[in-house]
Structure 1
C-alpha cells in the first residue's frame, strides 16, 4: 500500500477487472489505493469453497482485508459485486467507511427500472441462469451468442469497447468459469433471506448509488434505501450497465468526490 485509503473494487457478471481499467488510475491520482478483487464465478472458476451466497463472499473479502492488515477502506461494487459490497458494509461497519454501488438492485428488492432503461436492460438472463442444467447444456460453444447478447443489450446505445467485450466473453468461455458464474444465480433463497435481514437492520455506512440511464438508472438508489440509512444517487445519462467504462471521467468525478467527503472516519 502507498498510504492512501484502500478502495476495494468488486466487479460483477459477466465482466472482469477490466471493468475498472479507467477508474483505478484516477483513484491513484486522487490519493487512494485501489484494490481490485475478483470473486469466484466472476471471471474465474470456483476456487474450491463452493459457496456463492453473497454474504459468504463478503465474509471472505473481510477475511482477506484482515489478513492484509487493512483496518479501514472504501468499497465499490458493480452488479453482483454490489450485493457483496453491501453485505461487507453490514458485517464490518468499522472497516467500510464509504460504499459505492454501481448498477445493482439487491435480490428481493422490488423496484421498477425506469424508462429508457427498462427498454434496454435484459430481463431474461436471471431465470435462464437459475434453471438447473439449462445454461450448462445450451451455452457451451455458443458463448459469443449468449454472453455477447447480454453484454450488448445491457450496455445500451453507448455499447462497450469491442475488444473488451471480446475479452469478457473469452473470460467466461472456460467451462469452470461458466458454471461458477451460474452458481451466483442459484443461491437466490439464501440471498433473499440475507437481504430481508438487512431490511430490519439497515446499514449506516454512507452509500453512493450509481446507475446508467439506459440500464437500472434511478432504481439503484431506490433499491438501496430499504437497507441503507444514508443513500445518495446519481444517474449517468449516456451509460448502460457499465458507467465506469462508458462514462469514465464523469463516473470517476462523482465517485472521488464522494470518497473524499465520506471515505475517512
Structure 2
C-alpha cells in the first residue's frame, strides 16, 4: 500500500525526512507513533483537507519512509524527535498550528506543548504514551532477550510475531489484515526494517522522556486539549487516558467504542469529526 501523503524528502540535521503537505487553510500537524508511520493518517487527513485545513506530516527519523541512520548511536528518542519537529516546522514556515498526535507522537507533543505553548492553537492526543505507561509488559519482556538476538531472529519468525502484535492494536482485524497490515510489517521487517525497528524504535522506549515533564502537564490546561481513546486499547489502557484527563485542566476526553490502540485505523471518520468540531471551536 502506497503512502500517498508523502510527497517530498527534506534534510534535517543531515538526515532525510519523508514528509508531505496538502490543502489550504489553518495548519494542522499530524504526528504518528510506533511501530507506525504517517500512513496511519491516510483516512483522517483527506477529511481535514476537504474541510479547509492544511495538513502537514512526516515520518519520524528511523521510521516509515524516512532515513534509517546507519550509526546505531543516533538518537531517535522522543526528545530527539522534538528537535526534528522543530526543523520541520521551520521548513513549513509554521508559527502557530493545531497539533494532533498518536502513541509516542503524544510523548513528542507533550514535550513540545510544555516548552512551546505559544505555538499551539490546540492539542489533540489519541491513545498516547504518558508518564511511565511504556514500554508495555509484553514489549519489556521481549526486550529482555537482548536487542542483538531480536535483530538476528529469522525473518519469518519476526514477521509472524509482529503480525500478531499489530493485529492486537485494532478492533477490526480482518479489515486491517486485508488492508495496510503488510505495509506496516514491511516497514519493520527485512534486512533493513527489522534491525531499524529495534535500533531506532524499541531501543528508545524509555519513559524518562515523559516523566521529565509529567509534573508540568497541568500547564497544558492553558491550551485547548482534547484526548481521544479507544475503549479496547490494550497497549495504552484507558486508565492512562483518565490520568491525563485529570492532570490537564479543562481537557476533553472522548472514548470510542469498537476501537483499539490504532484508533485512526479503527475509527477514522469519528476521529476526523472530533478533530474538526474541536478545532473549529478554538
The TM tier, using the shorter chain, reads 0.7 to 0.9
Q: 1:223 deviation in Å?
A: 3.7
| Partner Cα separation in structure 2 for residue 168 and residue 68 of structure 1 | 27
User: Size of the alignment, in residue pairs?
Assistant: 249
Describe the SS at the equivalent of 2:274: helix
Q: Which has the higher strand share?
A: 2
Task: Give every structure 1 segment of 4 or more consecutive aligned residues whose post-TM-superposition deviation is greater than 6 Å.
Answer: none
Does residue 174 in structure 1 map to residue 190 in structure 2? yes
- Aligned residue for 2:57, secondary structure, equals strand
Match of 2:118, SS state, is coil
> Residue 208 of structure 1 aligns to a residue in which SS?
strand
Structure 1 CA distance for aligned equivalents of residues 70 and 102 of structure 2: 24
**Counterpart-to-counterpart distance in 2, 1:139 and 1:80:** 27
The range that moved more, 52-61 or 215-224, is: 215-224
Name the counterpart of 1:38.
59
Structure with bigger RCO (C-alpha 8 Å, 6+ apart): 1
Partner of 1:144: 159
Instruction: Pick from 79, 100, 122 the counterpart of residue 76 of structure 1.
Output: 100
TM-score by length of 2: 0.78
SS at match of 2:128: coil
Question: Closer, same or farther in 2 for the Cα pair 1:241/1:220, shift >3 Å?
Answer: same
Pair 226,199 (structure 1): closer, same or farther in 2 beyond 3 Å: farther
Are residues 18 and 123 of structure 1, via their aligned partners in 2, closer, same or farther at CA, if it must alter by over 3 Å?
same
Could you say which residue in structure 2 is the equivalent of 1:154?
169
Note if contact 2:63-2:187 (Cα within 8 Å) is conserved in structure 1.
no
Q: Does the CA contact (< 8 Å) of 1:107 and 1:188 recur in 2? A: no
C-alpha spacing 1:13/1:2, structure 2 compared with 1 (3 Å): closer
Confirm whether residue 260 of structure 1 aligns to residue 275 of structure 2: no
5+ long unaligned stretches in structure 2: 1-21
Inter-partner Cα distance in structure 2 for 1:234 and 1:217 = 14
User: For residues 14-93 of structure 1, what are the structure 2 equivalents within 5 Å?
Assistant: 14-44=35-65, 45-47=67-69, 50-93=74-117
Q: Provide the residue aligned with 2:225 in structure 1.
A: 207
Q: Cα gap change, 1:223/1:184 in structure 2, threshold over 3 Å: closer, same or farther?
A: farther
Would the aligned equivalents of 1:13 and 1:181 in 2 still touch at CA under 8 Å? no
Give the structure-1-normalised TM-score.
0.82
The CA deviation at 1:217 is 5.4
Shift of residue 6, structure 1, vs aligned partner: 1.3
The separation in 2 between residues aligned to 1:179 and 1:230, in whole angstroms, is 42
Which deviates the most, 38-47 or 83-92?
A: 38-47
| Aligned CA-pair RMSD | 2.6
Report deviation, 1:166: 1.2
| C-alpha displacement of 1:180 | 3.1
CA distance in 2, matches of 1:218, 1:43: 27
Q: Which moved more, 1:37-46 or 1:251-260?
A: 37-46
User: In structure 2, how many angstroms separate the alpha carbons of the residues matched to 1:93 and 1:233?
Assistant: 20
Match of 1:125 among 129, 139, 144: 139
Q: C-alpha separation between the residues in 1 aligned to 2:192 and 2:61?
A: 10
Distance 2:177 2:49 in 1: 23
Q: Secondary structure at the match of 1:33?
A: strand
